[in-house]
Each structure stands twice: as structure tokens, then as C-alpha cells.
């Protein structure tokens, strides 16, 4: 579908905060588009606690707003953007068999195969699919005064997983921002939406800590696969991130397997 299609066919119908699409030019082979300038700063440049709290609430807003409209039939998610549990399991299988990872790293990841499918089955059975940004990082959260807007929606898809909140919490922890306050803000925003829309209650029925841990494992597995299959050819330095990503996978995997 591409980023232009995501803006036109997903974000607009779902009423998701995003830069306005001013104009575009499209052919079967390529497209160009002009988006609104939504602010001069990013969360990376202004990483205050209040801005991180805003980002946590904004993420809950995105997930709730999308879920409400999906369940109302406003949009039928395109099949190619609906992610099934097998997507994450296949990412793990790729890493366990690829030549680019050494035996030590594979040995660390191997135990995950014993419990990941069952955990994903629980996730998909209990949490409904909603819109995921999949690159919810501080450089993609743009500020104009107190208004925050997510940009760069090219990797968006539909899944119940909470990798976006993991990404935000990970960035906050690196900047010594209290992540518990962000989790509390996210949960509070879910409750606010739940007052008017019963369908969003299910987003918080399983502990957010469990959702974040499983989201972390999934987004990191798929990120390492992307690094090895694509990113390393365009940005060779991304390979240096793999050991840290594996350490984070093991940290969250241990909480899930306990």
C-alpha cells in the first residue's frame, strides 16, 4: 500500500492524529506527496516528563480511536496490513536459522520458541486488533507548543500487540524518565475512553506489563530480522544495535516465561 495509501486509506478514515495531506502525485510506479509541517521540535529534542506523558496518552488515543471505528465498520483493514501471530513466530524462526547470527545469540533466542506461539495465541484471543504505528520513537513525535503529532506512518499495520508502548518506554528509560508514570498515563487514557466506549475496556483487561513485555519481544524480533534482511545494506551501522536488542529480548522473555 505504501505510506501515501496509509495516509489516504487508513489514517484519514480512522481519524488518527497525523500531518494533513496537502497534495500528492501518483503513478503506478511511484508517488510523491506533501504533508503538513506539524511542528519545529520532536520529543527527542524536548524530552520532558510532561511531553512523554503526552506521548503515552496520545498512543492510547490512537489505539482507542482506531478500535472504535474498526468495530463500527468505518474501515475494513486491508489484508496485507493485518498481521497474524505467524508473522512474529516466523521472525524468530528466521533468526534461529540465519547465517548472520552466531551460535551464542541463537542459543539465547532458542527457548523463546517454546512459549511464544502460546503467548501470541492468548494475545490474539483476548486483545482486539487495532492500529499500530510500529515506529513510535521520539524522533517521530513532533511538537508544536503542547500539540504532539505522530509522523512517519510508513510501517503502520493492524495487530493487538503493544510494541509502540515498549518503544516509548524504552526511550523514556534511556532519558531517565519515570516509565511507571507513562504506563499510568496510558492506562488512565484507556479508562477515559472506556467511560464512553465499552469496546475499549478490553485493551486494558490483561496487565499492561504483560502486553508491553510481549510487544517488546515481538517488535525486537522483527526489527532484528529487518536489520539483517534490509537495513544493513542501506545503513550498515544498524548491525551494531543487534546485541542490545537481543539483551532486551532476553530481559522481557524472562518475565514472560517466569
Res. 233: pLDDT tops 90: no
Rg over CA atoms, the chain: 18
Pairing of strands 41-42, 31-35: unpaired
Task: Tell me what the pLDDT averaged over the chain comes to.
Answer: 95
Q: Which of 243, 241, 245 is nearest to 219 (CA)?
A: 245
Q: Is the pLDDT of residue 149 over 90?
A: yes
Lowest mean pLDDT among 29-33, 48-52, 120-124, 216-220: 29-33
pLDDT band with cut points at 50, 70 and 90 for residue 121? very high
| Rounded CA separation 80/83 (Å) | 8
Output the CATH code of domain 2-257: 3.90.1200.10
Say what the pLDDT of residue 156 is. 97
* Cβ atoms of residues 81 and 133 within 8 Å: no
Q: Answer yes or no: are the C-beta atoms of 97 and 229 closer than 8 Å.
A: no
231, pLDDT greater than 80: no
pLDDT, residue 258, reads 67
Whether the per-residue pLDDT at 55 is higher than 80: the answer is: yes
Mean pLDDT along residues 8-29: 91
pTM (two decimals): 0.95
Exposed e or buried b for every residue in 105-131, given b needs 16+ CB within 10 A?
beeebeebeeebeebbeebbeebebbb
Q: How far apart are the first and last CA of the chain?
A: 39
Asked whether the predicted pLDDT for residue 235 surpasses 90, the reply is: no
CA 128 to CA 242: how far, in whole Å?
Answer: 30
- Report the DSSP beta bridge partners of residue 103: none
The Cα 102–Cα 73 span in angstroms is 47
Distance CA 187, CA 53 (A): 11
- 224 to 52, 83, 158, 230: CA distances (angstroms): 26, 17, 20, 10
Q: In the prediction, which pLDDT does 236 show? A: 74
Instruction: List all residues 6 or more positions away from 9 whose beta carbon is below 8 Å from its beta carbon.
Output: 1, 75, 78
Q: Round to whole Å and give the CA distance between 47 and 169.
A: 12
Question: Distance between CA atoms of 143 and 257, rounded to whole angstroms?
Answer: 38
User: 144 near 40, Cβ under 8 Å?
Assistant: yes
pLDDT value of position 29: 83
**63: closest CA among 176, 162, 143?**
162
Alpha helix (H) ranges present in 113-178? Answer: 116-126, 163-174
Do residues 216 and 168 lie in contact, with contact meaning Cβ atoms separated by under 8 Å?
no
For residue 41, give every residue at least 6 positions away whose Cβ sits within 8 Å of its Cβ, in sequence order, or none. Answer: 142, 143, 144
Amino acid at each position: 500500500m505504501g505510506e501515501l495509501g496509509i495516509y489516504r486509506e487508513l489514517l484519514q478514515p480512522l481519524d488518527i492524529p497525523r500531518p494533513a495531506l496537502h497534495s500528492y502525485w501518483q503513478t503506478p510506479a511511484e508517488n510523491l506527496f506533501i504533508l503538513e509541517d506539524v511542528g519545529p521540535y520532536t520529543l527527542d529534542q524536548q524530552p520532558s516528563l510532561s511531553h512523554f506523558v503526552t506521548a503515552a496518552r496520545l498512543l492510547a488515543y490512537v489505539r482507542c480511536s482506531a478500535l472504535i471505528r474498526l468495530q463500527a465498520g468505518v474501515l475494513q483493514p486491508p489484508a496485507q496490513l493485518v498481521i497474524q501471530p505467524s508473522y512474529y513466530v516466523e521472525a524468530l524462526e528466521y533468526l534461529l536459522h540465519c547465517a548472520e547470527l552466531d551460535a551464542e545469540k541463537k542459543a539465547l533466542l532458542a527457548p523463546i520458541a517454546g512459549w511464544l506461539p502460546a503467548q501470541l495465541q492468548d494475545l490474539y484471543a483476548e486483545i482486539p486488533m487495532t492500529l499500530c504505528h510500529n515506529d513510535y520513537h521520539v524522533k517521530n513525535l513532533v511538537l508544536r507548543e503542547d500539540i504532539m503529532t505522530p509522523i512517519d506512518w510508513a510501517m503502520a499495520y493492524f495487530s493487538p500487540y503493544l510494541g509502540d508502548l515498549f518503544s516509548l518506554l524504552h526511550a523514556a528509560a534511556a532519558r531517565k524518565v519515570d516509565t511507571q508514570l507513562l504506563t499510568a498515563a496510558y492506562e488512565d487514557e484507556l479508562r477515559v475512553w472506556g467511560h464512553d466506549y465499552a469496546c475499549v475496556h478490553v485493551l486494558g483487561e490483561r496487565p499492561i506489563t504483560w502486553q508491553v513485555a510481549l510487544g517488546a519481544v515481538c517488535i525486537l524480533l522483527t526489527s532484528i530480522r529487518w536489520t539483517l534482511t534490509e537495513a544493513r545494506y542501506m545503513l550498515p551501522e544498524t548491525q551494531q544495535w543487534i546485541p542490545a536488542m537481543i539483551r532486551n529480548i532476553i530481559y522481557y522473555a524472562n518475565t514472560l516465561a517466569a
